[in-house]
Amino acid sequence: MPLAALANRSLAPLLLFLAVIGYGRCELVREALLLQPYALPLSTVDFENAWNLTKEQMYGLQSKLYAVNHNKGDIKERTRKRTRRNGVSRITKLWPAGRIPYAISPKYDLFERALLARAINQYHAKTCIRFLPKTEADRDYLFIGKVDGCFSDVGRTGGLQILSLDDGCMEYPTIIHEMMHVVGFYHEHERWDREDHIKIVWDNIDKDAYDQFGRVDLTKTSYYGQDYDYKSILHYDSLAFSKNGYPTLVPRDETPVNS
Ligand SMILES: [Zn+2]
């Protein structure tokens, strides 16, 4: 076989893989762009409905993110490096003035819009972050839609970026969790200093999920002065990505990991 043919043959799976990844991402963006003209920003009615939600409606089935995502992660990135950051600190990844312009897919019903409004209310009440309807002038913005499971980029990526909150993700804690990624935070159990606080039990982790247990890179990010938080909304539970039902995250002190 000529060398060139051999080279072509060996590259074929890689090219196919890249094509699928590229196609997948393009499809997501295409759907977001198609739906965007029909997007309606949250209204006064949605924010009023938000306050009438019951605990049961807000917390639903308490679905596990990784179960909804069929054992895949919820952070979309173009790299599969296992070194990750905790809270982004690069100025280009931050949202100027804490303002996050958004558009919402028309596929959400009134109840789901109330859930989104409740989550946004919480950010507005507890932080300086502001989720505000996208205007004509906004070039960098978030499209919230039922795209493909629960996922987000971390921080501002530039241009249109997608926050996918599909049917299984429409629970208040999940929405808050994914919005934290949008703001610029990685998972708590991926902090650089996590070994001081938790033990990762690799033997119990599904091998395909190893990259869900990366560690932060402190050169480009910061803990922002915060202690390790076992109860963080961004901390996976002790059975996350377990292949055998045994714990994958074990606290080094008596404080239980999220359950
Ligand atoms: Zn997450």
pLDDT digits (tens, 9 = 90+) for 95-123: 999 999 999 999 999 999 999 999 999 99
Give the Cα separation of 242 and 239 in Å (integer). Answer: 5
pLDDT of 25 reads 60
User: What is the Å distance from ligand 1's center to 246 Cα?
Assistant: 21
Banded pLDDT at 217 (limits 50, 70, 90): confident
181 labelled ligand-binding:
yes
Question: Model's pTM, two decimal places?
Answer: 0.81
pLDDT of 222 reads 83
**Helices 44-51 and 110-126, packing angle to 10 deg:** 80
Residue 46, token pair as written in the block: 């949605």
The mean per-residue pLDDT over the stretch 168-196 comes to: 93
pLDDT of 124 reads 97
Banded pLDDT at 254 (limits 50, 70, 90): low
Give the Cα separation of 153 and 135 in Å (integer). Answer: 21
Residue 230, token pair as written in the block: 């076992």
What is the enclosing helix (H) or strand (E) of 145? strand 141-145
Tell me the three state secondary structure of residue 133: strand
The answer, yes or no, to whether residue 86 has pLDDT greater than 70, is no
Query: Over the chain, what is the mean pLDDT?
Result: 83
Banded pLDDT at 77 (limits 50, 70, 90): low
The answer, yes or no, to whether residue 88 has pLDDT greater than 90, is no
Q: What residues pair up with 207 in beta bridges, in sequence order?
A: none
Give the Cα separation of 15 and 19 in Å (integer). Answer: 6
187 labelled ligand-binding:
yes
Banded pLDDT at 147 (limits 50, 70, 90): confident
Q: String of b and e for 40-57 (b: at least 16 CB within 10 Å)?
A: eebeeebbebbeebeeee
pLDDT of 255 reads 62
Give the Cα separation of 187 and 211 in Å (integer). Answer: 12
User: What is the Å distance from ligand 1's center to 126 Cα?
Assistant: 20
Tokens 């998972």 identify what position?
187
Residue 176, token pair as written in the block: 């808050």
The answer, yes or no, to whether residue 68 has pLDDT greater than 60, is yes
pLDDT of 71 reads 66
- Of 31-35, 61-65, 186-190, where does the model show the most confidence? 186-190
Banded pLDDT at 89 (limits 50, 70, 90): confident
The mean per-residue pLDDT over the stretch 17-25 comes to: 48
Banded pLDDT at 24 (limits 50, 70, 90): low
Amino acid letter for position 200? I
Does residue 153 contact residue 125 with C-beta atoms inside 8 Å? Answer: no
Tokens 């009615």 identify what position?
45
The answer, yes or no, to whether residue 258 has pLDDT greater than 90, is no
Amino acid letter for position 41? P
Give the Cα separation of 66 and 75 in Å (integer). Answer: 11
Give the Cα separation of 71 and 242 in Å (integer). Answer: 9
Question: Could you give the C-alpha distances from 56 to 9, 64, 95, in angstroms and in order?
Answer: 55, 16, 33
The answer, yes or no, to whether residue 62 has pLDDT greater than 80, is no
The answer, yes or no, to whether residue 241 has pLDDT greater than 60, is yes
User: What is the Å distance from ligand 1's center to 172 Cα?
Assistant: 14
The answer, yes or no, to whether residue 226 has pLDDT greater than 50, is yes
Q: Output DSSP code: residue 162.
A: E
User: What is the Å distance from ligand 1's center to 82 Cα?
Assistant: 15
178 has catalytic annotation:
yes
DSSP per position, 176-218: HHHHHHHHTB--GGGSTTGGGTEEE-GGGB-GGGGGGG-B--T
Set 31, 112, 171, 178: catalytic member: 178
